[in-house]
Structure 1
Amino acid sequence: MRALKAGTDIVVFSNIKRDDPEFGRRIHRALSDAVCDGRLSEKRIEDAYGRIVRLKDQLKTDTLPRAW
């Protein structure tokens, strides 16, 4: 949650060491709950989604800004 509040748009996680098939569902639930109770705004999620989609489009067409 702290990473998202700090501006991270993509969170990557793994359950290899946990051996917990429900790990992904629990993370999804925690994020959903955070939006529902106001700890994380829906706008924050929508803005991040927009940036991710834009990046994917740029990667497909090789139009990334040269600052990368």
Structure 2
Amino acid sequence: MKVDIDEKEDRGNELIALARLVAFALETAKTLDAEVAEFCLDKALRAVLEQIDEPSRLTLTASDIMLMNRTPLC
């Protein structure tokens, strides 16, 4: 049972890290006016954020919450 809990925590932490990475890439694409990349990264970020489970959401920082509340491009 402990292994399952650890695996779920690891998955949540990895998804949060992935969301941060994609968010960084998205902000970089914005500064470069790379509209197609920006659109795709926005979609990717939303997809990753949807995969984060409720227990992992409790560990989100203020910056993470700001990511989740971004307005979509489309």
TM-score category by the smaller chain?
A: 0.3 to 0.5
After TM superposition, the score normalised by the length of structure 1 is: 0.37
Greater RCO, 1 or 2 (C-alpha within 8 Å, sep 6+): 2
Bigger helix share: 2
TM-score by length of 2: 0.35
Highest CA radius of gyration, 1 or 2? 1
